[in-house]
Chain A
Amino acid sequence: MSRPMLVGLGRLILYVAVGGIAALMILPFYWMVVTAFSPATDIIAFPPKWIPSRLILEHFTAAFAKAPWLMYYWNSAVVAVVSVGCSVLFGLFAGYAFAVYRFPLQNVFFLMILATLMVPVQVTSVALYILLSRIGWVDTYLGILAPNFASAFGVFMLRQGIKSIPVDLIEAARMDGAGEVRIVLTIIGPLVKTTIATVAMLLFLSSWNDFLWPVIVINSANLRTLPVGIALFKDPYGNINYGPLMAATVISTGPMLLAYVISQKYMIRGIALTGLKG
């Protein structure tokens, strides 16, 4: 075979491999959407109907009749916004302190914060639940938020970001009479805004998709977040109806997937640069 033909063959194999695996990767998303919009006869058809014979919205009506999805959205949003907001704000100040100041027990505190990364909520859930039940936080927003008010990952990333800022800049601001709080909020904050955006995005994602802790701490149906809502939507003893179930997964994942499609380049780069929240 000639060299150009070999290169052409290599290209072909590359496209077949990349395209073929991509088809497998996207199949669950495609099948979710198709099932959600297909009439019941299409859903169980053989050979499978890759394109619905007609688009119907009945499964969505059924899904909305069975569970308050907008309330789940609201709960997920409240938890995500408060936990991301607090984690970023507290992380910015703590990151500044660890990056700029020298103070007694600095390393002890920093290691204590990093050590929490090694003890996930899976391990601490028992004692955390008992603690929260004593202070009356079980089955409240505060209960879901308790382990997520601050983020070790956020502190670490923001400290790294702030470390790259020249000390002269901070000194100059101090000369101008700016207080430390003002320096953090009006000078440091804008300078590390890309780090803040990346941290905020990753924390939002992990809060939005978190399941174990919310399902432990929440009993009331009206406090469920989206993952808890969708997990308990499947009634293990009831009549299984896949149309409404897939409509429910479309409802619960759709907006996030849409946000991903719009910002995927930025999201992927953020994750490649930072690893991911542990």
Chain B
Amino acid sequence: MSSHGRGSIRKLVARWHARRIFHAYLFIAPVVVLFGIFRVAPSIQTLLYSFYKVELLRGRFTFIGLENFQALLTDEIFRRATMNTLTYVVAIVPISAFLGLVLAVLFNAEFRLKEVFKAIYFAPMVTSTVAAAMVWWWMYNPQFGIFNVLLRLVGIPDQPWLMSSRMALPSVIIFSVWKTLGYNMIIYLAGLQAIPPQFYEAATIDGASAFGRFRRITIPLLAPTTTFILIYNSILAFQVFDQVFVLTGGGPANSTNVVVLDLYRQAFERYNFGYAAAEAMVLFLFIMGITVLQYVYSQRYEVSY
């Protein structure tokens, strides 16, 4: 390189220094490079692999167009897994959000040992899903599990819980409600505490009943919190895996199989990486759909507030 060239590069670097562009790129470099390699590139690669037949051990990648997606359409097990995932999302999200709201309203009052109770409700959230599910697996045991033992005590016949294809998915949902309830309660509680008490005082003076105040003030003012909770819970619910893996392994007869579990099996047990990539794209579309929904709704709130 000529000395002239080197000099102008030095000048360029000096100008960068002055504008702190050098530092800006230096400081974001670790995150951008690491995310580029381990997050962004694999996202795009997964999309590409969904059009390929991938034979990793032979190092062979064969372009097969839409064949993976066509196969998905006729795959009974994947259809079952998708339906189960949708059922799971549609059940857990409203139940957990509603119960979270009820609890938050209760906890908005002052009472003794409130912090202790709050900590108890939140404890499942900080516990590893795998370990917690293991305990529930024992509690769901049809013969000696505590649930059937308690039912027996009050004269209700034993339930098959995870053993029956009819009850297994509801049993997984009950576990997940227990696991996520505390989080929704805490978020709703933060939302409730942000509502100015003057609103309630004014409504009380105007003669509104407790229920009327809840319906006309609490619910509308909590709408942004509710949106956040519904979106956040839905996105997580679509990714459900840990508890299914431990509680049922997808059974009996695929009655609790879910998208991520099927993806895991196709990719890492059967090495159908291309096919699993297509499943991952379906999962991504669901998450994307929720995010678009959030965007549309947030636009609406900006108008109404």
Contacts and interface: CB of A to CB of B under 8 A. Distances in A.
A35 B138 contact: yes
B31 A94 contact: yes
Interface size class of A (residues with CB under 8 A): 35 or more
Contacts, number: 276
Q: DSSP class of A's interface residues: helix, strand, loop or mixed?
A: helix
Interface centre among A124, A152, A226, A252 (most CB of B within 10 A): A124
Contacts of A24: 178
B31 A155 contact: yes
Given A122-B263, A129-B267, A93 B28 contact: yes
B298 to A, nearest CB: 15
Nearest to B280: A123
A260 B185 CA distance: 17
Contact of B43 (A14, A124, A180): A124
Interface in B20-53: 20-21, 23-25, 27-28, 30-32, 34-46, 48-49
B186 A246 contact: no
A15 B30 CA distance: 52
Main secondary structure of the interface of B (DSSP, over half): helix
Interface string A237-278: 000001001101100110011001100110110011101101
B249 A113 contact: no
B118 interface: yes
Contacts of B36: 112
B132 A101 contact: no
Contacts of A103: 19-21, 24-25
A94 B183 contact: no
Nearest to B235: A278
Question: Which of A103, A119, A124, A126 has the most chain B CB atoms closer than 10 A to its own CB?
Answer: A126
A5 interface: no
Interface string B196-219: 000000000000000000000000
B106 A123 contact: no
B181 to A, nearest CB: 8
A236 interface: yes
B153 interface: yes
A119 B39 contact: yes
A246 B132 CA distance: 10
A249 B246 CA distance: 13
A120 B239 contact: yes
A212 B117 CA distance: 31
B88 interface: no
A81 interface: no
A275 B20 contact: no
Contacts of B40: 112, 115-116
Interface string A107-131: 0010011011011101111111111
Contacts of B49: 126-127, 130
Contact of B136 (A28, A123, A149): A28
A208 interface: yes
A194 B239 CA distance: 30
A84 interface: no
A32 B137 CA distance: 11
Interface in B115-146: 115, 117-132, 134-139, 141, 143-144, 146
B55 to A, nearest CB: 11
Given A93-B28, A268-B186, A47 B228 contact: no
Nearest to B242: A211
B289 to A, nearest CB: 11
A187 interface: no
B122 A249 contact: no
A127 B31 contact: no
Contact of B31 (A48, A113, A212, A273): A113
A24 B178 CA distance: 9
6 contacts: A25-B123, A47-B153, A126-B46, A129-B268, A131-B45, A236-B249
- Give 4 closest A-B pairs by Cβ, nearest first: A127-B45, A127-B42, A97-B27, A103-B24
